[in-house]
Every structure is written in structure tokens, then in C-alpha cells.
Amino acid sequence: MCVARLYRRSQISCSVPTLQLVCLFAVLTATIAAVGGCNLPPFRILTPKEQSRITKGPFLLRLSEHRAAIMWETNSEGPFTVSYGRDEKLGQQINTKPDRVEYSLPRSRETLFIHKVWLENLQPGQVYYYRVMARETESMLCTFKTPGTDADEVRFAVYGDCRSNPRMHRKIVERIIERDADFVVISGDLVTDGGNYEQWGVQFFGPLKGLAESTPVYALKGNHDKSKQNYFERLLVPPGQTANFSFDYGPVHFFCADNYSGTEIQVLPLIGADMGGSASPWKFVSYHVPSLNFGGHWSNWGYPSALPTLSKAGIDFAMAGHSHQYERFRPVAPPSDADGSYVTYITSGGAGAGLHGVERSVYHAYAKKIHHFCLFDINRDKLTMKAIDANGEVIDQLWVNKAGGRLNNEYLQTAVPMEAVRAYQDSHRK
């Protein structure tokens, strides 16, 4: 670690004995910089304003027509406030009761404070301004726009497994920023080790800067995100919610499930009950461990119940990660003896972690070992999906539409029987 950084962290006052120490540090700093050993900023004593910092966020955790959940983290103890309003005067304020996090680094012990609040009684389809506070400092002025009640268009991105490679994660985020998505869903494995608090800043919050202040990022829990300290829940689950939740945005109803902590016996009924209460024309579910996956981990979460349950629930797209690849399956037809939807399963686990191969099969529409994300554009009954790589190149595209709640015949003619997919899955089950 650079000498200057060590000094900044220590935040010592300038008494006479320590002044000698400071001089020694300054000489040392200049010497190291002169020989090119460390790219150091100019040496100076930090002001109180600089010492108090917002260390994560602000981060938009949830957004609906009438409320928004915001998270941020400070290095100084609160309570602090978020100020917000329909204009830059920020006429409303909410105080927070922060959650204190203590963790160890190799040479120090760190204490940080997580703040999470709901902004209530918002108006649909309106731009809101907000600013979060730390002691003697504050964030930049941020904005978000609530969904309109009659919105019939939406654009959103889905990706997974951004862990372990923050540079790749950042490239993916930059491609998403260019495309101006309304929301983002990340299907888990956000960091290499969920119990290592440093990684949450480096691998997750850092790469999402410039996006998550104004665009809601719905993060799901993967197997790498678990920790006995519950860092995932403390950072990313708003007050009063759990890691299983749903939301609406225009023509889309989206259920996000924690299928790593929960078994299929617990999670599948949640999905069924939630979808049964939605009249949205497009229904999505996302969870970490795929129910169809040929390659990588060869996952088959929920076998044998998941496929018929999701079809019965009327799901259109099931988005998962865990295996680090892109694979889009042909639509899976409902069971031959039951009604249900044709479900398109996509494994999109390539936003950072080391890639896995895919075993292409007749059940795939397209599959590739590549870092990427998925971008959906829905305008009423029309849906476009593009899989886009880290350089912005489109690697796969899908166009479908619905009439009377039924997908177009050209797409349905490409469907595969559920019984055949399950037999193939069974023959490869570990």
C-alpha cells in the first residue's frame, strides 16, 4: 500500500511529535514517487470534509410508480439524510439509521455505515432529484424517473456473474449506459467471496458507478454472494423486503428469486403465486442457478418440477447465470397434457467471471462462450432481445410478438417438446 494512502487512513492530527513523523512521511513519499515506485498524489493533510466520505453509492435498489429505495455507505457515523424532490430545491428529507459494518484488512480494521431508505408517495412518470449526505460532505445531485402508469415501452438489461473481473464488469456497464436502460437485473455471483467486504466495493459497486445512481439495479443472490455476516442482504435488500421479490415496469412483470438459499419446494410456489396475480403481458423470472443449462455447471435447478411450473405460471423468459456463458434455448413447449406458456430459457452468466464452454445441442437457438449482457426492448406486444458483447457487438438477436396473449406462430414453430428437453437433461444429470 502507498505511504500516502496509509497516512490518509490514519487521519492523525498535527501535534509537534507527529509533525516530525509527518515530515518523515513526506520525505519518504517524495522519494518513492521520484523513483517511480508508486504513483502518489501530492502530499497534504486531509480536511475534515475530505475525511468524511461516501464510500459506496448512492445506489438505486428498487423503483416503482410510487416509491424508490436508495442505498449508500459512509465512513463516518450517522444518522444522515437523503434530500429529494421534484426539483433541485430538494424539499423533502429523510433521516437514516445506519447499519454499522466492521471488517479487517491485512493492516487495519475498518468501520463503515450502510444507509438504506425508501422514498415514499412518489408520483408516477416523474423525474425526481436527490442527494445523499455524509458528515460534512454530500453526493452529487442525482435523478431518477418513476415508471408511468400507462407506460407501454421499456428497455432493460440482464446479466450475471460479474464477479472476479471488475474491468470486464465495467466494460459491460459502459455498454449498458450507452443504451440508456430503464432498469438492470443481475442474476447473482456479484463478487468472488461474499464474506470479503472489500470485494463488494471493488467488484460490484465500483463498476456500477455512473449507472446505479439513476437506474434501478436489481441484484440477485448467487452462491458466491453468501456470507455469515449477511453482507448481500445488508447492502442490497431494502427495509421490509427479502431476496425474493417482484416488480412491474410498463408491460413487464419481473420476479427475482433467490434459488441458491431456497429450494425449489420453497421458491417455485412463490413464483407461481406471484405470476398468478399479474395481468402484465410479458412475464419474466430471474434466478441464479439455471433450470436448463448445457455446459459449464450443467445446472438443472428445480428438476423435474421447474419447467412445468414456469410454463403453468405463464412465464415468457427465464433468465439465469451461474454458468459463465451465453446460451439461448429454443422455446420450450408446455407439457403435452397441459396448458401453459412457451418459455424461453437463457443462461447469461458472462459479465466477468472466467468463461465456461457450452455444449451446443438441437435445443439451443444460439450458444457461445463469451462475455456479454442481454438487452430487451418491449413495445406493447413486440419484444426484441439482443445479446451484446463487451465491445458492443450484437452476438444474437430475437424478435417475437404476441397477439391475444400468444406468441407469434413463426416463433412457436421453433419450439421443442418439454419431454424431449427433460429426457436430454436427465441423460446428462449429475
| Per CB under 5 A, 223 contacts Fe ion | yes
| Cβ closest to Fe ion, residue 132 vs residue 220 | 220
Residue 189: CB minimum distance to Fe ion, A: 4
Is 58 in contact with 130 (CB distance < 8 Å)?
A: yes
- Using alpha carbons, list the distances in angstroms from residue 398 to 36, 88, 262, 366, 401: 51, 41, 31, 10, 10
| Cβ closest to Fe ion, residue 221 vs residue 283 | 221
Q: Which residues pair with 199 in a beta bridge?
A: none
Chain positions 123 to 182 lying near Fe ion, rule: CB under 5 A, are: 161
| Count of residues that bind Fe ion according to CB under 5 A | 5
Q: Which residues pair with 246 in a beta bridge?
A: 255
Three cell numbers, residue 18: 507527529
Residue 319: CB minimum distance to Fe ion, A: 14
CA terminus-to-terminus distance, the chain: 45
Is 377 in contact with 155 (CB distance < 8 Å)?
A: yes
Is 362 in contact with 332 (CB distance < 8 Å)?
A: no
| Per CB under 5 A, 356 contacts Fe ion | no
Is 394 in contact with 386 (CB distance < 8 Å)?
A: yes
| Per CB under 5 A, 75 contacts Fe ion | no
| Cβ closest to Fe ion, residue 63 vs residue 173 | 173
| Per CB under 5 A, 225 contacts Fe ion | no
Is 225 in contact with 188 (CB distance < 8 Å)?
A: yes
Q: Are strands 317-320 and 252-256 parallel, antiparallel or unpaired?
A: unpaired
| Cβ closest to Fe ion, residue 203 vs residue 215 | 203
Q: Which stretch binds Fe ion (CB under 5 A): 97-105, 273-281, 321-329, 331-339?
A: 321-329
Residue 62: CB minimum distance to Fe ion, A: 23
Helix (H) or strand (E) holding 410: helix 409-412
Among 115, 253, 283, 322, binds Fe ion (CB under 5 A): 322
Among 166, 216, 222, 314, binds Fe ion (CB under 5 A): 222
Q: Which stretch binds Fe ion (CB under 5 A): 71-79, 217-225, 402-410, 415-423?
A: 217-225
Residue 164: CB minimum distance to Fe ion, A: 9
Chain positions 178 to 207 lying near Fe ion, rule: CB under 5 A, are: 189
Three cell numbers, residue 161: 456473474
Q: What share of the chain is helix, strand, coil (3-state, %, to 5)?
A: 25, 30, 45
Chain positions contacting Fe ion, by CB under 5 A: 161, 189, 222-223, 322
